[in-house]
């Protein structure tokens, strides 16, 4: 069953590699992101994408979030997380390419746990990307509850999940 507005966001263990401004090209060890703990008492924008480095994700979806991260935070957002079905090292490399720095936490859901727990997974095996990927979505999570959820009807497009639409929803 797919999560909906008003639902408690499920507890999932994601991993990420923290950004280090003192050593931006270093590869640090992964850290755990427990959604229950990390989202408690915070307003979070969670951006779900099918794959790092993919054309839609890299050109249309993530760059506007990087550019508007300060605007999102000015509207009360404490944490911006981008998650994909890739591993945390791939997400770290993609974040470096997109010049995310510390604006967005780039997390991996390589096992598909988040997709299964939220019902926001998609089978992209016909495209050669695997059977358990995240569909393209954005959720605003306020103190652990889903306050807004937008899911793209076509995950190859960005029509309802872009940064401007998210800013309007805050």
Please spell the DSSP secondary structure of 45-60, one letter per residue: EEEEES-TT-HIIIII
Q: Are 56 and 134 in contact (CB under 8 A)?
A: no
- How many residues make up the chain in this entry? 170
Q: Which strands form 31-34's sheet, in the order they lie side by side? A: 31-34, 13-16, 105-108, 79-84, 43-49, 137-142, 145-151
User: Is 57 a residue of the active site?
Assistant: yes
Pairing type for strands 105-108 and 79-84 reads: parallel
Catalytic residue among 33, 45, 57, 69: 57
The residues annotated with a catalytic role in the active site are: 57
């Amino acid at each position: 069953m797919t999560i909906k507005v008003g639902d408690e966001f499920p507890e999932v263990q994601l991993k990420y590699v923290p950004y280090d401004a003192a050593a931006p090209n270093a590869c640090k060890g992964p850290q755990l992101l427990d959604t229950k703990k990390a989202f408690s008492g915070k307003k979070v924008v969670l951006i779900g994408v099918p794959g790092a480095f993919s054309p839609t994700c890299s050109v249309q979806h993530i760059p506007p979030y990087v550019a508007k991260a300060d605007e999102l935070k000015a509207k009360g957002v404490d944490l911006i997380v981008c998650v994909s079905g890739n591993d945390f090292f791939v997400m770290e490399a993609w974040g470096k390419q997109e010049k995310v720095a510390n604006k967005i936490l780039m997390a991996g859901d390589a096992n598909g746990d988040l997709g299964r727990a939220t019902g926001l997974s998609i089978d992209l095996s016909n495209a050669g990307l695997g059977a358990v990927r995240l569909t393209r979505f954005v959720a605003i999570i306020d103190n652990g509850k889903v306050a807004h959820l937008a899911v793209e009807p076509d995950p190859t497009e960005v029509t309802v999940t872009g940064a401007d639409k998210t800013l309007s929803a805050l």
